[in-house]
A = this chain, B = another copy of it.
Amino acid sequence: MITLYDYLDSGNGYKVRLLLTQLHIPFRYVEVDIMRGETRTPEFLAMNPDGRIPTVRLDDGRLLAQSDAILWYFAEGTPFLPEDRYARAQVLQWMFFEQYSHEPYVATPRFIVRHLPADDPRRGELPQRLVRGRAALAVMEQHLQSRSFFVDGRYGIADIALYAYTHVAGDGGLELEPYPQLRAWLARVAAQRAYVGLLDRPPPC
């Protein structure tokens, strides 16, 4: 059985939990407490030298890291990833947008607000990060003006990658009220079959 090393409040880990659940792939969920340095132990670094969750151990023991690479691996050959070459490149375009232009400015503020003390110096990063976070949300809002989902008119892993931190952007100070298309898309994602929430702890198996 697959093992998912993860931290419940991580949107990056949630992407993988959501896809595996929607694909009906059972997995063993192992909580790694990032706030207690459990991704920096010698044991964890031997699995993933970059020291990050989510990390997946496949049935045969092989390891895979980086949430969006894990999504791609499991979505291959399923309706969550299109077959057309250009559409597949668009999925990657949006996933790289997510990791480069969105996650540091939408997810990191949420992390700072929820997990760091009130006097942590990293709180000084918030104003600049939120400016860029709004820019990322505006790019998404514009794209959704004429589309139901991010690529190919169909729900897939580009949506999962972008949904994970967008739907909780308010936790970090990014209110979604100015983005009606985005809010309608969030509702469409949350209405998908076998949807689970970010803080829904996976059942033991």
Task: Count A interface residues, CB 8 Å.
Answer: 33
A159 in contact (CB, < 8 A): no
Residue in B52, B66, B96 whose CB lies within 8 Å of A69: B96
Interface residues of A in 68-123 (CB under 8 A from B): 68-70, 72-73, 76, 85-86, 88-90, 92-93, 95-97, 99-101, 103-104
A142 in contact (CB, < 8 A): yes
Contact A50 B101 (CB under 8 A): yes
Q: How many copies altogether? A: 2
Residue in B85, B88, B93 whose CB lies within 8 Å of A65: B93
Contact A66 B96 (CB under 8 A): yes
Task: Give the interface of A toward B (CB within 8 A).
Answer: 49-50, 52, 58, 62, 64-70, 72-73, 76, 85-86, 88-90, 92-93, 95-97, 99-101, 103-104, 139, 142-143
Contact B73 A85 (CB under 8 A): yes
Query: CA–CA, A73 to B139, complex, Å?
Result: 22
Residues from chain B with Cβ under 8 Å of A92 in the complex:
66, 68-69, 72-73, 92
Contact A64 B93 (CB under 8 A): yes
Query: CA–CA, A73 to B87, complex, Å?
Result: 10
Residues from chain B with Cβ under 8 Å of A69 in the complex:
89-90, 92-93, 95-96
